[in-house]
């Protein structure tokens, strides 16, 4: 029997089912061009809603096996976490670990596999019940304690030596889980543990201009609707410029080859998860300026990210250039 991941359309239908709008899934970066340089600010508002409890539609969605299956079947994501944790056994052997947003419990399991003495796996959504059942069925209940609740409100029985999570979204900050991750590290780190680890430990954001004529044509194809002179008797052309503004201000998540970049230099912004504060993550500046090296239609900026944990391993976004 073939096993397939949920499709993008299936996931989109489920987001809609829980009242999550498409714009809530995207993080926009406001740019202010001046003298060839720009500044990007991380949005101050959480990606989901102002709700902080389990009624939050994002929490309901993450409580679905469909979404958890989609993440587990992402081989690059899952195998990279496993490899990074097993290659850094010295960070886990005999240690107490906190897993922030455990979901199915896969990272908690990897921590035990790497030698952790005990793992506290915290999950807000109802997936906590599934994780507890799954881990119990695999004989891990004595090593992993699943706690259902909001990370900011949970009380652990002891401080921890390592905090693990998968808090990164598109362009690192999407969904705003990084704040919860870094706050948990500061609150629950063992004071007398010189080897305290955040896993991942560092995130890097990359920005570079690129050109993709197919994206331009696709967006202009959507704008063409507003060029109609007689739509049931209405002349829609007055809205054309507004349509261009709307369609070209939306982020596009996908892949494109490196040759679409318009310069060899990529601007970077690095975030140390052990030292950064949630306030610094909430709003920050990322100045960037580029020298365009070839003539082309400029589509937009390419935003991508990497994250590092331990010594030899790196978590990253798509291996191909992405936007």
Specify whether 106 is located in the same domain as 217: no
User: How crowded is residue 21: how many other Cβ atoms within 10 Å of its Cβ?
Assistant: 10
Specify whether 78 is located in the same domain as 125: yes
Specify whether 159 is located in the same domain as 97: yes
Instruction: Specify the pLDDT at position 55.
Output: 58
Domain assignment present for residue 32? The answer is: no
Instruction: Specify the pLDDT at position 61.
Output: 62
CB 166 within 8 A of CB 78: no
Mean pLDDT for each 10-residue chunk of the chain (323 residues)? 39 41 37 36 37 54 77 89 94 96 95 98 93 96 96 95 85 74 91 85 81 85 96 97 90 74 78 81 77 73 68 46 41
Instruction: Specify the pLDDT at position 13.
Output: 44
Specify whether 240 is located in the same domain as 296: no
CB 38 within 8 A of CB 102: no
Instruction: Specify the pLDDT at position 186.
Output: 92
Domain assignment present for residue 33? The answer is: no
CB 122 within 8 A of CB 151: yes
User: How crowded is residue 187: how many other Cβ atoms within 10 Å of its Cβ?
Assistant: 15
Number of domains in the chain: 2
Residue 205's domain is classified under what CATH number? 3.40.50.150
Nearest to 283 by CA among 179, 167, 207: 179
Specify whether 126 is located in the same domain as 219: no
Which pTM value belongs to this model? Answer: 0.69
- Domain with 233 in it: 213-248
Look at the block and give the residue holding tokens 């693990």.
164
Instruction: Specify the pLDDT at position 194.
Output: 78
């Amino acid at each position: 029997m073939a096993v397939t991941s949920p499709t993008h359309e299936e996931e989109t239908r489920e987001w809609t089912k829980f009242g999550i709008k498409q714009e809530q899934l995207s993080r926009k970066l406001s740019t202010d061009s001046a003298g060839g340089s720009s500044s990007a600010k991380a949005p101050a508002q959480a990606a989901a809603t102002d709700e902080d409890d389990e009624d939050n539609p994002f929490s309901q969605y993450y409580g679905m096996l469909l979404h958890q299956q989609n993440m587990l079947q992402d081989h690059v994501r899952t195998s990279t976490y496993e490899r990074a944790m097993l290659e850094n056994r010295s960070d886990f052997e005999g240690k107490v670990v906190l897993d922030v947003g455990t979901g199915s419990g896969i990272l908690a399991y990897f921590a035990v596999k790497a030698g952790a003495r005990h793992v506290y796996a915290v999950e807000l959504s109802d997936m906590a019940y599934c994780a507890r059942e799954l881990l119990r069925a695999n004989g891990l209940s004595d090593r992993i304690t699943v706690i259902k609740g909001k990370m900011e409100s949970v009380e652990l029985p002891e401080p921890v030596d390592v905090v693990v999570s998968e808090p990164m979204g598109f362009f690192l900050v999407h969904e705003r889980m990084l704040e919860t991750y870094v706050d948990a590290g500061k609150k629950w780190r063992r004071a007398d543990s010189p080897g305290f680890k955040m896993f991942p430990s560092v995130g890097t954001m990359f920005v570079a201009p690129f050109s993709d004529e197919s994206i331009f044509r696709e967006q202009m194809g959507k704008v063409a609707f507003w060029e109609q002179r007689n739509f049931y008797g209405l002349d829609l052309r007055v809205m054309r410029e507004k349509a261009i503004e709307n369609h070209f201000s939306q982020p596009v998540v996908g892949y494109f080859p490196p040759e679409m970049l318009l310069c060899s230099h990529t601007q970077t912004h690095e975030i140390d998860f052990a030292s950064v504060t949630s306030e610094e993550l909430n709003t920050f500046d990322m100045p960037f300026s580029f020298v365009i090296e070839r003539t082309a239609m400029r589509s937009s900026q390419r935003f991508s990210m990497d994250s590092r944990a331990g010594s030899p391993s790196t978590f990253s976004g798509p291996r191909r250039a992405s936007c």
